[in-house]
Amino acid sequence: MPMDRQIIDQTLRTKYGEQAYLIVEKLTDAGFDAWWVGGAVRDMLQGNIPKDIDIATDALPKDIGNIFPKTDIAQETLGSVRVPMGKVLFEVTTFREDDEASDGRHPESIAFSTREKDAKRRDFTINALYFQPISRELYDPFGGEADLKEKLIRFIGEPAIRIKHDSLRILRAIRFRALLSGQYEPETYRALKEQAALTESLSGTRKLAELEKMLLGPHPDKALEDMWELTILQFI
């Protein structure tokens, strides 16, 4: 499922795509590596124009602030800043790797890193997708494009370990399966069922945010069925 040239062109012709391109261009001109990442790339591979574009880069938050003086640096300790372009705020995040220590809710610390390690820390193969709008290169180290074609939800790395590092990934797996009307890779499904009780440790705020996205998605019935089958409803 190669990236459709027409979708790329149509995206870049939108005001939103044009502004996201400009951010990458300015970062690249300053000597940094910058890519569109995650959902926007997934949307484009499915033939859709993205409504939201996140950007990942090796530029540090202070570097991003120097290039874009009006940047909101409130979350800079997590490596993420908001760059205003017109009336839109773009999330620009420094490549990072998570500390393996975790309480199951969030990583203990963040270390800035490389694109390769940034991809490795992401939850599912279909989310570890990077697109360089200038060169039009697709970076897909874990076969996310093939899994997206098959509508397959697959954890990157060992599923149980990925869940224990952040148990919100259980709910995210259910949401993405429902979004794509897809299926789980067998080891991913097994881990979701075995680790279901870990969702109880999540804050109400994080649970609510995922539940809202499920219920407002195209197939809330599938999400609710999965939560029932995986015995998650009793914990949320």
Neighbours of 208 (CB within 10 A): 12
Confidence of residue 6 (pLDDT cuts 50, 70, 90): very high
Measure the CA–CA gap between 37 and 84, rounded to whole angstroms.
18
pLDDT in tens, 214-227: 999 999 999 999 99
pLDDT in tens, 31-47: 999 999 999 999 999 99
With a CB cutoff of 8 Å and minimum separation 6, the contacts of 209 are: none
**Prediction pTM value:** 0.90
SS3 content of the chain, % helix, strand, coil (to 5): 50, 20, 35
Residue where the block lists tokens 């109400």: 204
Confidence of residue 112 (pLDDT cuts 50, 70, 90): confident
pLDDT in tens, 57-110: 999 999 998 999 888 766 666 678 999 988 889 999 999 987 555 554 455 556
Measure the CA–CA gap between 135 and 154, rounded to whole angstroms.
28
Radius of gyration of the chain (CA): 18
Closest C-alpha among 176, 178, 167 to residue 223: 178
pLDDT in tens, 139-171: 999 999 999 999 999 999 999 999 998 999 999
Range 194-200 average pLDDT: 94
DSSP bridge partners of 55: 36, 92
Q: Can you give the pLDDT at residue 54?
A: 95
Q: Please determine, for residue 1, whether its predicted confidence score (pLDDT) is greater than 60.
A: no
Confidence of residue 122 (pLDDT cuts 50, 70, 90): very high
